[in-house]
Structure 1
Amino acid sequence: MNRPKRTRLTQMLLNEQNRRGMTESELGAKYGFSQQAFSSWKAGVVPRPKMYAALAEFLQISVDQMSELADEAKASTGTTKLPNIGAPLMGRGSSESIIVEQFAVGFAAPNVSNCYAVRVDGHHLWVDPRITPLPGNTVLIRTKDHAALATWPISVQEDQEVHVVTLAELA
């Protein structure tokens, strides 16, 4: 598992907590934030602006300095939100024959009512079964455990579904 990158803000929070010898819940009660929020900030999540004043008081710095630390942390981590793990990977193969998995890789159960991905010839394709195909769309003609790429319109059998490719990695 990858450890989050330590920012100056994260390091300052850890150092100040150790210096004071207080638990996360004690700090939260004293400064007005939750134990979970403080724990997430120590793990690298960037605090929201409404918490800058409380954190500045805790760190004994100005709110402007706290804002600069948060901006620096945001720039080094890229976001203040948890990462999106993307669409579930449901299949792999070549453009002529794609094997569709029963369960999505990395997910507890498949949910093909929403967008999912397949790996074709080494590239990811994002597929959405909710979109009605238009002439010229690249589509995935899918049965229970197999699929193939085609260009719409194409004749489809009763046991097949048509899912539109919405995004594809370039070669």
Structure 2
Amino acid sequence: MNGLQEMTLISEIVLQSQIAKRAAERLRATHDHFDHIETWCSIQSILVSVGIVSKILWPDKKYKQCGVELRQLLKVDERNPLSNRSFRNHFAHYDERVHEYFKFNAQGVYTDLAMNPHLNSGIFGHIPMHTHRGYNAFNNTVVFRDETLDLNKLLGALDTLLKNCKPYALDMDS
């Protein structure tokens, strides 16, 4: 990988990190003035931006070595929360998730875009399986069925990455 290519990819990481941070600010603002569309728009923006960063750092096999070099340069551990794209995939492939669900669950119970699902949950605080997407504003987590994503950890990992990008990026407008 040449220097310009490296700087270009790192600059894209910076841009996507800034987009995610801006979306997180918008998401926090919805806590005071609830806006259902803005809540989900912000969550989706965070997930898409993090997904792009993840694909740069953990690319397909064809560009695997480039990812290895970038992770080494930017001090990104293999177990970094940014490596997991499952939540981005749940949102990007929502249609498939719906088809899969109804293939095995014909009971007609389907809860989506739930707010604070832990508070409205089933027995003993478990989120019912029919809660597909949910956002808990109290602890800043996103739920997809039985999986939970801590946005604070994800955004913290982005902040660390952004600091590590500073010496290498073309432009660091914050």
Tell me the TM-score range normalised by the shorter chain. under 0.3
Greater helix proportion: 2
Greater strand proportion: 1
Q: TM-score scaled by structure 2?
A: 0.23
Q: TM-score scaled by structure 1?
A: 0.23
Q: Which structure: larger Rg?
A: 1
